[in-house]
Chains A and B, each alone.
Chain A
Amino acid sequence: MSAYIVGIGIHPFGRAEGMTGLDMGVAAVRSAIADAGVEWNDVQFAYGGSDASGNADTMVSRLGLTGVQFINVKNGCATGGSALFAAASSIQSGEYDLGVAVGFDKHPRGAFDPKPAEWGLPDWYGDIGLMLTTQFFAMKIQRYMELHGISPRTLGLVAEKSFHNGARAEHAWRREEVDLDTILNSQMVSDPLTKFMFCSPAEGAVSLVLASEKKARELGGPMIRLAAAAMRTRPAGSFEVFAPALDVERGGTATEIASKAAFEKAGVGPGDIDVAQLQDTEAGAEIMHMAENGFCKDGEQEQWLAEGRTRLDGSLPVNTDGGCIACGEPIGASGLRQVYENVVQLRGAGGARQVAGDPKTAYSHVYGAPGVSAVTILTR
């Protein structure tokens, strides 16, 4: 039994003065159920969560005290993906016909400041200045560039595309284009990554309404099927954020195994995907995730970016709303934003950022600490 996405709602990403994370979550749910053409009373279950902005189930006091089953999800960067996975399972089991997934967050300005003890690490690791996600991203791409011949200019091309697409997405935070030279010559934050190559912690919320096939047909909208949703944790020998040491014997990544599982479940391959949203906490991540998700071989990104293959008019448009670089990263909402954007593209409702060629399959991927990844594949 398949689950269908029948409604989508988003609270614009960026900064929303005077609103809490929960406020944005409520707004996103209201917008998603209106989009689906249903009422909160019709909703049989919900899964939702945030990383830092409170318990999703408290929303019932605002949405309506209908007695609905509402389960909180907290799974780091995979919070949204996990909520979606759980919601889809509830439909696929045949137990329910209509439910909601919601993710939201509101982070303070500046880099994340995690505490060592919460990650099972000794205090000295934070004391001496190693407890920074930015260092991890920089060192992962630094080694990747050395091994696979990726140039700094290619990192710049990724960010240039992000801002180009973000300027065409109503829900994006950064809505101005930034040219390649400005990106490459901006302040170096963590070599080889400059200021314009990083995403920033932000605010925002996304909600999706899921339905059984029967219910989806009854509602009469476009039939957008969740062909696969897979969440995986890291394998042995992976390279993750906040790692004082790595195994000499190198292994794969959580992304690789989540991607493989999703493709198998959906019965399609990377070549069948028409549009993709790949985790781009910084420009290097998008480059590496193109290969980890099977879209190209290691090193081919150099040519792909030079030829513009991942632009809106390319053979595989990537991060069509500007991704995390243009939208910012509210941890709990980011994964669902990607699915939101994929639904927009499959509906042909992308306006100035609509990809050409009537897309039929869409892929989304998140990655986060401490080595988790969630992938979805939508088909129409």
Chain B
Amino acid sequence: MTTRPIAQDLFAETPRPHLIAGRSRTTGRIVFPFPEGLEGQDCDPVDLASEGTLWSWTVQRFRPKSPPYAGPEAFTPYAVGYVEFPGQVIVEGRLTEADFAALRIGERYRTVIVPFAEDADGTSILTYAFERVEGTAA
């Protein structure tokens, strides 16, 4: 099956997938995603750590309006959270954890690349998400 990332230069599909952020050459501040346009010209790409800790979370229990939401018509509630990559930045993303009762601030999560939706020609669109690392409560 053919696949494509949902956006260019958002993540690296290495054996240990990670996100790509930008570090400002002027201020040293790390921003995610890597900024478009003029702001991006001041930034160097930075590989974020492949694991971090859950900073906060919630569950999206109703289907968001389309646009902008481009997910499948059939809706299953999904968890959303922020994961802190220590010393780098805190990033928002979907959580793959389906057992919402298992969501705890401070637990370890790793970056994974997951199929999100399909193009009309069947190409699978990939995005990043965060997956709970079992048995590693902080």
B88 neighbours in A (Cβ, 8 Å): 248
Residues 180-237 of A contacting B (Cβ, < 8 Å): 187-192
B58→A247 contact, CB < 8 A: no
Cβ-defined contact, A248 with B84, below 8 A: yes
A123 interfacial contact with B, CB 8 Å = yes
Interface residue count on the A side (C-beta < 8 Å) = 36
Question: Contacts A113-B68, A135-B58, A140-B56; is A130 near B92 (CB within 8 Å)?
Answer: yes
- State the CA gap A142–B65 with chains docked (Å): 23
- Residue pairs across A and B with Cβ atoms less than 8 A apart, 28 shown, are A113-B67, A122-B7, A123-B68, A124-B127, A126-B68, A126-B70, A127-B69, A127-B70, A127-B71, A128-B6, A128-B70, A129-B69, A129-B78, A130-B80, A132-B60, A132-B64, A135-B60, A139-B82, A142-B56, A142-B58, A190-B60, A191-B61, A244-B32, A244-B92, A245-B31, A245-B92, A247-B90, A248-B85
A6–B66 Cα gap in the complex (Å)? 45
B93 at the interface (CB under 8 A from A): yes
Asked if A306 CB lies within 8 Å of chain B CBs, one says no
Provide the bound-state CA to CA distance between A188 and B6, in Å: 30
Residue A267 CB within 8 A of the other chain? no
Which residue in B10, B32, B100 is a CB contact (below 8 Å) of A191?
A: B100
The yes or no answer to A111 lying at the interface (CB within 8 A) is yes
Chain B residues numbered 21-64 whose CB sits less than 8 Å from any CB in chain A? 21, 29-33, 36, 55-62, 64
Chain B residues in the interface with A (C-beta under 8 A): 6-7, 10, 21, 29-33, 36, 55-62, 64-65, 67-71, 78, 80-82, 84-94, 100, 105, 116-117, 127
Q: Write the chain B residue with the least CB distance to A245.
A: B32
A132 to B33, CA, bound (A): 18
B93 cross-chain contacts in A, Cβ below 8 A = 130
The residues of B that contact A139 with a CB separation of less than 8 Å are 56-58, 80-82
Q: Enumerate chain B residues within 8 angstroms of A101, measured Cβ to Cβ.
A: none
List residues of chain A with CB under 8 Å of any chain B CB: 110-111, 113-116, 122-132, 135, 138-140, 142-143, 146, 187-192, 243-248
**Given that A128-B6, A245-B21 are known contacts, is A122 also in contact with B59, CB under 8 Å in the complex?**
no
